[in-house]
A and B are shown apart, each in its own frame.
Chain A
Amino acid sequence: MIDRRSALALGLAVPGLAGLAACGPNASGGTGGGGGGGSADSGSLRLAWWGNPTRNENTENAVAAYKESAPDVTISLEPGEWSGYWDKLATQTAGGDFPDVVQMDEKYLAEYGERGALLDLAGAGLDTSEFVEGSVEVGELADVGLAAINAGLNAFAFAINPVVFEQAGVEIPDDTTWTWDDVIDTAVAISEATPDGTWGMTQMGSVQGLFQVWVRQAGQDQYKDGAAGFDAPTATAWFEWAKRIQDSGAGPDASTSVEDAAASMDQSLFNTGRIGMTVLWSNQVVAHDALAEKGILVLRPPSVAGSAAEAQLWYKASMYWAVSAKSANPEAAVAFVDFLVNSPEAGKVLSVERGVPGNLAVRESIVGDLDESSKKAVDFLNAIESELGAPPEITPQGGGEFEAILTRACDDMLFGTITAEEAAQRLLDELSAALS
């Protein structure tokens, strides 16, 4: 007899159990991936990357273009921002939910690669024969093979907002001869000639790329044989330079800088016309150019000697594509990565926003059609080609922490909690602890 009590019990128990069943974290994801089998032309893939509006659009278009040549492969997109990307990836790793194809950075290549999370692309048959000399090796790890393929080359650069310079009436400096002191002097001139709330430069003390330029110009490098490659006096001098930015008024005060560092690209002080000079990787030129009012100019970083030939710049793989070692669909994933880095079609869509393509054939096919912003990035890379220093070591395992360590030490110093020497010593100590 179905009386009220048993009807109520049924009504509660059934949805409750159904809800529990759906509660499993990978209930839908796992079966979707597993159903793909082993074919390169069918199945479903998940693609994760960090980016900005320009890159997100390019990537979507590239995926749409791939759909035309491989209609049976469904690719679900997981874009994100740099600041949350690594947390998300680590969380996904913990949940066994690593996306099939991920955009990878040099900082974390060893972290993921040496722990067996990435597939050996060369072993899986990825064709890298057309890549320019040196651009494939930067993705290789000793025990893994080719853990990730170079998605584009870039180099470290200064960006100028010409509108701010005009507003201040300051001339744009000659980037082949300027020194670190010249940078501060120019910035001070801008800060003084513009209203409150506009400064000459951003606080660059916590920027890892510029720090690397600094230590390379001191004859050292960020890493050497898997340990820290720089010494305390060099780091102290760096922090003192950073302190001067704040003290001289060249850049904003500490708390404004902290906020700016966390702001999104379109909300940053530089792109809203309140900073004259900032630093970036050359591939970010494209996105900044679109956001800043009248575009940007790309300059070399300064040198200690006042000569561009001694700036010790280097070509970096701006980012990589990697495939999960536990992907349910490795062949489809590798085929897709092959499309991304080796096909002129993808090269045209993705352009140089992620960096200049390593595949020379692709690079040649797109160079003619580049728009203004992309040309700026490519021209910069070509301009510094003859001035490069030795290529740096890949970040060893544990080195992914460096950016956070540098930021903390710099912030503490800028807020006056510690001195530049103490900051430098802490930088070295914490980096060594992280690497061990």
Chain B
Amino acid sequence: MQIPYGFLTGGLFIAVLVAAFASLMIGPAAVGLGALWGVMTGGDVETAALIMREIRLPRTLLALMIGATLGLSGAAMQGFLRNPLAEPGVIGVSGAAALGAVLAIYTGLAATFALALPFLAIAGALGAVLILHLLAGSRSTLTLILAGVAISSLTGALIALALNLSPNPFAAYEIVFWMLGSLSDRSLTHVQLAAPFMVLGWALLAASANGLDALSLGEETAASLGVDLKRMRAFIVTGTALSVGAAVAVSGVIGFVGLVTPHLLRPVVGHKPGRLLLVSALGGALLLLLADILVRLITPGTELKLGVVTALIGAPFFLYLVLHLRLGGR
């Protein structure tokens, strides 16, 4: 079942490019290649090119970046916690980012200053890192998970409180819809805002590849092989918070991509946690691009939220995968 690494990454890369191209081409308005070219070369801005630049391009870029973030951080988190059921949200950063965003909507800040929402969401994710550091510092991995669960529950409760106390039904409606996760009506400003945090997060996660491999032998042996476990943990927690926090900030909470992607691709890289990182990032980008195209195709009028679709497809698929792997031999 193992596929040569170069072949696999090359194949996935091409698939991502094709999906990204399809994502640029598919939508309610007929926008051709000319418009795409017009945007790329900075030429004249007609309606078609405007659609491309203001709607399709940001949407495609965000699907790519967020998918890659979820796949990469999911793979890193599963490798680090040595648990195939871990996902990026397990340490509480997505919950904290969502709380920041909800507060921006609740207080009306988001209405007066559009970027208040992503800013507060990223601040929430960074706040979670700070709390994780204080609670779990250099203690065991179990303490980290417990602290993450505590943060998730608390942020969930606070979001519920905000909904409970929301000044009018519209605010509650807006909060709920935002939480479902979507990529529609985003602009290149969102891309620019999220990109630096994501790239920094990706670098921190990618730097942990060798350490994750060594961790297959357990913490003790990894330490004897020169892996600085404390540093690796700080890298993975911070890298996840930065990239996933930025993803939640611009898209809301999109589930299952971070859980399913590494799970799906693990056998084809020979179960090596380090190699899974890049492959899972590409796979996550591909899955989210396809899901976002699907959203536009199946319900063009009242668009389904992306997070709803990933969960709807992801959950049964995940169940199938687990049953297949557990019951079907290996």
The judgment on whether A and B are partners is: no
